[in-house]
Structure 1
Amino acid sequence: MRLLLKRRYTPRGTPGRLFLGNRQLCFIREAPKSCYDPDVHCLEEGVYELEPVHTEEEGWRIRVGERGWIRSRPPDHSPEKEELCPVTAYRADGTPLFTRLAFLKLLDELSSVWERGEVIELQVVSVGIPYVLESCRQPSYS
């Protein structure tokens, strides 16, 4: 099974939508692209295998490839480096709503697939970058 993350880049963050086929599962928020902040940046575009991970300290989270994570973050905490944070909806001012609920719904959706022994992949694509920074000019896919 393959999920699709369609996102766009902004200097303050990388908002996106996570799809299973034509159905949107949730919104995703990430840190900005590396050209905006090389220390805390979003996951690179590509295809990654997803794997559930549980620890006593952090509870459930989802490993994305070798470096990234999908995990719940409170609305007042920004996503960290290579971290995807599910969101159910946004307020008019851009504040994320129901972040924990979005993560739990996503985990519930994917758990039955993992229980059947299937591999789940995440494909990350983006719309073009409207900024003129030379470091941000990299191929994008829509």
Structure 2
Amino acid sequence: MVLVLNRMYFPEGTQGILEWNGNLVCYTIELPWLDNQRRISCVPEGEYILQKRFSPKFQWHLHLQDIPGRDLILIHPANDAKKELLGCIAPVTQHTCIGKGSCSRKALTKLKTLVYAAIERHEEVKIRIQSKSSDSHQEDKV
């Protein structure tokens, strides 16, 4: 299974549309692209393996594997990228403005249902992160 995250970059944050087989799963919010700096930048474009992960803070969520120069990049609930994210990705049901969205927990539940079912079937699950248009603000792509 390969999920595709199409991003748009803005100075205030990164907006995304997450799809599987051409169907909308949810929208996403992230921090702006700041040259892959830890804790203040969204992750580089590329393809990453997703795994299930549990923590007391986020309960069950998703973990992106093997991101160059980064570790512990998660997909977890958040409705405001600048206040609640440290380089991770937050699923949301809709964008409310740049770097903000609504009903993140609901969006994460929908995403987990899809991804966890594939993992239970012993499928490898990947996320492909790419620019929505060729006019990307991210110049060094993975």
TM-score (norm 2): 0.81
The equivalent residue for 2:60 is: 60
Aligned equivalents of 2:59, 2:38: Cα separation in 1: 28
> Matched residue of 2:28: which SS?
strand
Displacement of 1:4 in angstroms is: 0.5
The equivalent residue for 1:20 is: 20
Letter in 1 for 2:85: P
Based on CA coordinates, which of the two structures has the bigger radius of gyration?
1
* 2:128 is equivalent to residue 123 of structure 1: yes
What's the CA shift string for 1:5-34, capped at 9, x where partnerless? 000111110101001011010001111101
Unaligned runs of 5+ in 2: none
Choose 71-80 or 95-104, whichever is displaced more: 71-80
The equivalent residue for 1:89 is: 94
Q: Which structure 1 residue ranges, 4+ long, deviate > 2 Å from structure 2? A: 35-39, 55-58, 74-79, 127-131, 136-140
CA RMSD after TM alignment: 2.4
**Contact 2:8–2:136, Cα closer than 8 Å, also in 1:** no
RCO higher in structure (CA 8 A, sep ≥6): 2
TM-score (norm 1): 0.81
The equivalent residue for 2:40 is: 40
Unaligned runs of 5+ in 1: none
Paired residues in the alignment total: 134
The equivalent residue for 1:137 is: 139
Aligned equivalents of 1:118, 1:39: Cα separation in 2: 30
Aligned equivalents of 1:51, 1:138: Cα separation in 2: 26
Letter in 2 for 1:79: L
